Every structure is written in structure tokens, then in C-alpha cells.
Structure 1
Amino acid sequence: MPIYRVLTGPDDATFCQRVSEMIGLGYELHEGPAVTFNGERVIVAQALIWPTRVR
């Protein structure tokens, strides 16, 4: 699994499901989402990180 991922897409149920699936796999949200408007719809970007252990 990559330790850092960014998901992007329209702010809809499908996007929320994708983020929820990554959290279910063990990823954690990295800060809040970035949100923009492309003239037609709201587009969201959410960074996720794989938790690492401190050694």
C-alpha cells in the first residue's frame, strides 16, 4: 500500500464511499479536504496517509 494517497472527484456519494473504503482499509485522513468549484460542480481532494509506527 502506498503510504500517501490523494483522492479527487466530484463531491458526491461515490467520492464519500471511496474515502470511506480507504479509511476502512486503515488509512487515516491527512488534514481536511480541499474544495473548489469548476463552474458546474464542487470538486474535492482528500489526502490520506497510511499510519506508520515510531521506532
Structure 2
Amino acid sequence: MRLYRFLTAVDDATFCHKVTAALNKGWHLYGSPTYAYDGQEKIMRCGQAVVKDVEGQDYVAGETKLGDW
């Protein structure tokens, strides 16, 4: 199965640590990062898509926990 996640966080070290943790679990960057202003919170937010291929497993919507991989 191929898994997809979109990681987001405020624009500080939290975002970098979140992406780094995913990379160390075998996820791969997918596309370019995003950067946007959150007008309600008045902060900048970052986002990065990541993907991961898992052999021998089937994806089941609502049951496959993406964070477990």
C-alpha cells in the first residue's frame, strides 16, 4: 500500500522535528513545502506532504492509522 500524510505545524522547530521524525520512520518528501499566514492566530504555518510504501499490507479507510507507520 502507499500511504500519504500532510504534516503541518507553526513555523518554528516543531515543524522541522515533525518532518524529521517522519523521515526517520521511512516516509519520503512529496512535493514542495508550503508556507501560509494564519490570520486568525496571526502566525505563519508550514506544511509538507510525505508518502510511504508498505509492502504486504492493505489500506483500509478508517482503520489504517497513518501515524503508526
Normalised by the size of structure 2, how large is the TM-score?
0.65
Match of 2:17 in 1: 17
Which portions of structure 1, spanning 4 or more consecutive aligned residues, are displaced by more than 4 angstroms? Answer: none
Q: Which has the higher strand share?
A: 2
Could you tell me which runs of 5 or more consecutive residues in structure 1 were left unpaired when the two chains were aligned. none
2:31 matched to 1:26? no
Structure of greater Rg:
2
Over the residues paired in the alignment, what is the CA RMSD in angstroms? Answer: 1.9
Residue 47 of structure 1 aligns with an amino acid whose one-letter code is: A
Q: Matched residues in 2 for 1:27 and 1:51: separation? A: 8
Q: Percent of aligned positions with the same letter in both sequences?
A: 33
Cα distance in 1 for partners of 2:24, 2:6 equals 16
Tell me, which stretches of 5 or more residues in structure 2 are unaligned?
56-69
How many residue pairs get matched? 52
